[in-house]
A and B are shown apart, each in its own frame.
Chain A
Amino acid sequence: MKLLIIDDNQPLAEGLVAYFEDVGVEGVIADSAEKAKILFLQQPFDGAIVDFYLPGADGVRWVQWALEKKPNFRWVLYTGSLSYNLSKRLQGVGLSDRWVFRKPKACADDLLAALSIGMK
């Protein structure tokens, strides 16, 4: 399994990669939505962990873009903003709060579990 980790918080992203590595999952880091787009087009990923606040385009826009490319692509939004809720518009295009995880309460295995369920 290969996951794309889109987060500009380097220590956190590297921590996630280390965790995934220990459980046999490959993690690739992109520190911006733009870089994530390039990686997404270049390599096959089974899912993505996406921060909301990113330099440039935000995480939700990236998810929308990715879903246009691969409608069944699995993703989770991993945000430090506790007050963040998906707007009705985003819910309308199929994004669900079910896939929104809060930092720091949700830990790496929660994210992996959510993505694994999605991948079944």
Chain B
Amino acid sequence: MTSTNTSPFVFANPHTKTVRAQAVPWKVLIIDDEPSVHQITKAIITEYEILGRPIECLSAYGDADARVLLKEHPDAAVCLLDVVMDTKETGLKLVQYIRKDLNNQMMRIVLRTGQPGYAPEREVFIQFDINDYKTKTELTEERLFTTLLGALRDYQSLTQLDRNNRLLTDVIDSMPEVYLILNLKGEITGLNSKALALSGLSREQGTGNKAWEALPLLNAYRTELEQALVTGKVCRVERVKTKIGQGSQYFDLMLYPLTQQAGAALILEEVSLKVRYEEMVIQSEKMLSVGGLAAGIAHEINNPLSAILQGAQNTLRRLGPEMEKNREVAASYKIDIDALQAYLKERKITEFLDHIVDAAGRAAGIVETMLRFSRKSESRKSSTNLNDLVESTLRLITKDYNLKHSEVFAATELNTQLDPELPLVPLEMTEIQQVLINLVKNAVQAFGDKLPAGNNPVITVSTQRMAGKVRLEVADNGPGMPEEIRRRILEPFFTTKEVGQGTGLGLAVSYFIITNNHQGSLEVLSEQGKGTRVQVDLPLHLEKE
């Protein structure tokens, strides 16, 4: 049994059939300064067919042409190499050239010397990586055949083993997962390219390190990993998180013991997209449940709200001195309606009634907004120049009464970075306008009531063409938000503003407009102390709904 067969991975030689059909010859290099040796060797061995393949002989007669030949034929199976040629050590130097300079460990080297005194067999075998040593006199035709057969068998096994190793390495290196081989101490003995990319280390730097030192995201699970290594049990951890810039990456971790060796394999599968998708599904479900609830209660709420509004408006009207009927009825009760007006004003009764009208109007607005979550956009989308829409919306925002009177907004630098190559985007203009207004207002409010110390507040609205989509981004250099808030920021009714300052629907509605009505995505990236970016991606082509 060859060593190949003891490998846990046995791969079929992909060339086997081709080789047999075309009988690709074994390349045998003859390097010797005696032309007669070439002639005789060739005459003998080109008659052979060894392991089903003929033999092709290639010749070199000295150091220089040997080096050219060796370089041109790295796939030569055997090199029959004379020792004493240009110098006493030409052959031995060529061995070094093959093994070290050309890094060819596969080629089988058979030293053939006519002057064994110059290169004693034992010393040469110890010092040089050769495979056989023969004196020319002992190489009879029979011995030459057996020597070649042995060398070719070795070469065949080695190349098969090498192919398997390369395939195995390629398989592991091509894995989309991070893959580490660990010893029982948790030290890395092997790692694939994804592991190198994640750790930022070279293969040499990574090898020998503890896994949790090379990959700090494993640090939190060090105890579990150490325990699993010692007990030989499988260890799984879902959603291992690591920070990448302003965003996060998530991995599912699995460590399992190796069966043939003391150690374990550790796999990290990136599941960031899956996590994001799950978050999106949860958001959508929350929103749809809000929408469903709103649809159910809208009628029940809007009817009494109508009565409240109508009643308050009627009351205001019937207290006013402008209406002749009011004056008539008041006079019949000997009431001076102008004095009554003065009284109502002084006691702020008309103001209270105005508040009732305002409050009922706001409540109606909330119900209407909640209902957005239950409806598909019925409006028709049209191909729109998003840059124009951004500019016109920002002009509108600067005229917004509340913002115009905000000290923070007045000091805010509102920048745009619009991609001049932006293609037209299918969208519903009023909806995207609403999203942009919400995002900019949120950014202004993120700065707080007072100007932040240090940096001046800057909000940057940018557009960018990307593969199959365009990105609209609103970025601020505000205080950012902690992860626990960022995770909830899209939930309907979640707000960090003071009671009465916001309904917590603006961002949720924006999210719904983008994901539900425009088949796009909205992502909030934030880092405390550095600011927040909201990225809205809109597809250039909509799938039929």
Q: A residues bordering B, Cβ < 8 Å?
A: 9, 11-12, 15-16, 18-19, 22, 53, 79-83, 102-105, 107-108
The reply to whether A82 and B305 contact each other, CB–CB distance below 8 Å, is: no
B contact residues around A83 at 8 Å (CB): 295, 298, 371, 374-375
B299 within 8 A of A: yes
The reply to whether A104 and B313 contact each other, CB–CB distance below 8 Å, is: no
Q: Assuming A11-B304, A53-B299, what are 17 further A-B pairs, CB within 8 angstroms?
A: A9-B303, A11-B311, A12-B303, A15-B306, A15-B314, A18-B318, A22-B323, A80-B298, A80-B299, A81-B299, A82-B368, A83-B371, A102-B302, A104-B302, A104-B364, A105-B361, A107-B310
B contact residues around A80 at 8 Å (CB): 298-303, 306
B367 in complex: contacting residue of A11, A22, A82, CB < 8 Å = A82
12 contacts between A and B (CB under 8 A): A9-B303, A11-B304, A11-B307, A22-B314, A53-B299, A80-B300, A80-B303, A81-B302, A82-B371, A83-B371, A104-B308, A104-B361
Cα separation A79 to B302 with both chains bound (whole Å): 8
Q: B residues bordering A, Cβ < 8 Å?
A: 295, 298-311, 313-314, 317-318, 323, 325, 360-361, 364, 367-368, 371, 374-375
Look across to chain A and name the residue whose beta carbon is closest to the beta carbon of B309: A104
A104 in complex: contacting residue of B306, B314, B318, B371, CB < 8 Å = B306
A contact residues around B325 at 8 Å (CB): 22
Given contacts A9-B306, A104-B364, contact A15 B375 (CB under 8 A): no
Please name the 8 residue pairs, one residue from A and one from B, whose CB atoms are nearest each other, closest first: A15-B310, A80-B302, A104-B306, A11-B307, A103-B306, A12-B307, A104-B305, A80-B299
Cα separation A103 to B304 with both chains bound (whole Å): 9
Given contacts A18-B314, A81-B299, contact A12 B371 (CB under 8 A): no
B contact residues around A79 at 8 Å (CB): 299
The reply to whether A108 and B310 contact each other, CB–CB distance below 8 Å, is: yes
Look across to chain A and name the residue whose beta carbon is closest to the beta carbon of B291: A83
- Residue among B300, B301, B304, B325 with the highest chain A CB neighbour number at 10 A: B304
The reply to whether B299 and A15 contact each other, CB–CB distance below 8 Å, is: no
Cα separation A18 to B319 with both chains bound (whole Å): 13
Given contacts A11-B307, A15-B311, A83-B371, contact A103 B323 (CB under 8 A): no
A contact residues around B323 at 8 Å (CB): 22
Cα separation A107 to B307 with both chains bound (whole Å): 10
Q: Give the Cβ gap from B458 to chain A, nearest Cβ, in Å.
A: 38
The reply to whether A22 and B306 contact each other, CB–CB distance below 8 Å, is: no
Q: Give the Cβ gap from B509 to chain A, nearest Cβ, in Å.
A: 15
A contact residues around B364 at 8 Å (CB): 104-105
B contact residues around A82 at 8 Å (CB): 298, 302, 367-368, 371
